[in-house]
Amino acid sequence: MSANKKAQAEPRTRPDAIERGAVKREWNAVFSRMLIEARAQFPNDGVAAHRLAVSEADRIMRMQAAASASSRSSQEILVDQAFLEIFGGSIGGAGGRLVMVETFADRVIARGMDGKLYRVSYVAGTDGVKFGAPQLVENLADEQRR
């Protein structure tokens, strides 16, 4: 059998797909959740929905891996994960899509889809993290000194 025919006979599987699918079962759960959101955003384009779901699932898994490998406190990790659940995702949560820029002990500075910066206050407790409504930041330097 020639090398070309042999290559065609063997199934082609991407190494990252093996790692995500077989070893990282949690990736499948995240991907499934993101695919539902992506299908709502792209109802007539399965390719676009799939690509968005893969990229969002990969991003979330990277964030979770970084959080578990870091030396940050458990409260910081909890705030990051809760912020992503509420304000992140492919179409944003209840509060709309925001990307975290900087975290403080009582608030998060985030960039909105409109390119503006927002302050989101939070309280972390034993029952989770509660976020306030996003408020427009007029001066980032003042906010950082606060």
pLDDT digits (tens, 9 = 90+) for 90-113: 555 555 688 888 888 889 988 888
Query: Residue 11's pLDDT is what?
Result: 47
Query: Residue 146's pLDDT is what?
Result: 75
Query: Pairing between strand 107-112 and 128-131?
Result: unpaired
Domain residue ranges of the chain, discontinuous segments joined by +: 1-70, 73-146
In whole angstroms, what separates CA 129 from the centre of its chain?
A: 17
Among 91, 115, 87, 90, CA closest to 100: 87
Query: Residue 45's pLDDT is what?
Result: 92
pTM of the model: 0.48
Phi, psi at 63, each rounded to 5°: -65, -40
Query: Residue 21's pLDDT is what?
Result: 45
